[in-house]
Amino acid sequence: MQKDFKPTNIAGKLAKEFVHNPATPIFAIVILLIGLIILLITPREENPQIVVSGGAIIVPMPGASAKEIKKIIVEPMEKKLKEINGVEYVYGIAKDDVGIVQVSYYLGIDKQKADLEIYGKVIQNLELLPQGALQPIVKPFDIDADVPIIAIALYSEEGKAGEIQLYNKAKELERLLSGIDNVSKVNIKGGHKEQYNILVDLNKLTAYHISLVQILNAVKSTAATMPNISNSTKDGEKLVLVDIAHGINTEKDIENIIVAQYASSTIYLKDIATIEKSYNIQSLKEVHLKIRDKDGKFSSSIPMVTIEISKFGGTNAVFVSDDVREFFQTQRSNLEKIGIKYKIVKDDGDRANDSVNELLFNILASTVIIGLLIWITLGNKESLIVVSTVPLIISLALIFLFAYGMTLNRVSLFAILLTMGLLVDTGIIIVENIHRHIYDYGDKGSIDDITISATDEMGNSANIATIAIIFTTLPGLILTGMIGEFMEPIPIVMSVVLLSSLLIGYTIVPYLAKKIMKRKQK
Query: For 292-340, what is each residue's pLDDT tens digit?
Result: 555 656 555 677 888 999 988 778 888 899 999 999 999 998 888 888 8
What is the predicted pLDDT for the residue at 286?
Answer: 54
- Do 202 and 136 share a structural domain? no
- Do 359 and 239 share a structural domain? no
Most confident among 91-100, 161-170, 203-212, 292-301 (mean pLDDT): 91-100
Average pLDDT, the chain: 82
- Do 202 and 93 share a structural domain? no
Most confident among 121-135, 186-200, 252-266, 488-502 (mean pLDDT): 488-502
244 lies in some domain = yes
Read off the pLDDT band of 224 (50, 70, 90). Answer: very low
- Do 487 and 369 share a structural domain? yes
Domain boundary among 279, 296, 312: 279
Q: How many CB atoms lie within 10 A of CB 475?
A: 9
Q: What is the DSSP letter of 407?
A: P
Q: What total number of domains does the chain contain? A: 3
Write the CATH number for 229: 3.30.2090.10
Residues 6+ apart with CB under 8 A from 215: 198, 200, 240, 259, 269, 272, 273
107 lies in some domain = yes
Write the CATH number for 454: 1.20.1640.10
State yes or no: pLDDT of 225 exceeds 70. no
Average pLDDT for residues 404-429, to the nearest whole number? 86
Q: What is the DSSP letter of 299?
A: P
- Do 379 and 431 share a structural domain? yes
State yes or no: pLDDT of 65 exceeds 50. yes
495 lies in some domain = yes
What is the predicted pLDDT for the residue at 2?
Answer: 52
State yes or no: pLDDT of 343 exceeds 80. yes
- Domain extent at residue 241: 194-279
149 lies in some domain = no
Amino acid identity, residue 45?
Answer: E
What is the predicted pLDDT for the residue at 36?
Answer: 92
Average pLDDT for residues 88-102, to the nearest whole number? 87
Contact by Cβ (8 Å): 247, 222 = yes
Most confident among 58-72, 222-236, 259-273, 486-500 (mean pLDDT): 486-500
Read off the pLDDT band of 228 (50, 70, 90). Answer: low
- Do 378 and 265 share a structural domain? no
Q: DSSP of 161-221, one letter per residue?
A: S-HHHHHHHHHHHHHHHTTSTTEEEEEEESS--EEEEEEE-HHHHHHHT--HHHHHHHHHT
What is the predicted pLDDT for the residue at 522?
Answer: 44
d(CA 281, CA 192): 8
What is the predicted pLDDT for the residue at 236?
Answer: 45
323 lies in some domain = no
Q: What is the torsion angle, in degrees rounded to the nearest 10, for the CA atoms of residue 347, residue 348, residue 349 and residue 354?
A: 100
- Do 489 and 395 share a structural domain? yes
- Do 95 and 220 share a structural domain? no
State yes or no: pLDDT of 263 exceeds 70. yes
418 lies in some domain = yes
d(CA 225, CA 385): 71
What is the predicted pLDDT for the residue at 247?
Answer: 54
Amino acid identity, residue 204?
Answer: K
Contact by Cβ (8 Å): 430, 458 = yes
- Do 248 and 109 share a structural domain? no
What is the predicted pLDDT for the residue at 226?
Answer: 46
22 lies in some domain = yes
pLDDT tens-digit readout, 104-150: 888 778 888 888 999 999 898 888 888 888 888 888 887 766 788 89
State yes or no: pLDDT of 231 exceeds 50. no
**How much of the chain exceeds pLDDT 70, in percent?**
85
- Do 28 and 136 share a structural domain? no
Q: Which helix (H) or strand (E) holds 487?
A: helix 481-487
- Do 113 and 27 share a structural domain? no
Write the CATH number for 130: 3.30.70.1430
- Do 206 and 120 share a structural domain? no
Compute the half-sphere exposure of residue 142: CA atoms within 13 Å on the CB side of its CA.
15
State yes or no: pLDDT of 291 exceeds 60. no
**How much of the chain exceeds pLDDT 90, in percent?**
19
Domain boundary among 140, 167, 202: 140
Q: How many CB atoms lie within 10 A of CB 440?
A: 14
340 lies in some domain = no
> How far is CA 399 from its chain centroid?
21
State yes or no: pLDDT of 174 exceeds 80. yes
φ/ψ of 153, rounded to 5, equals -100, 130
Domain boundary among 279, 302, 330: 279
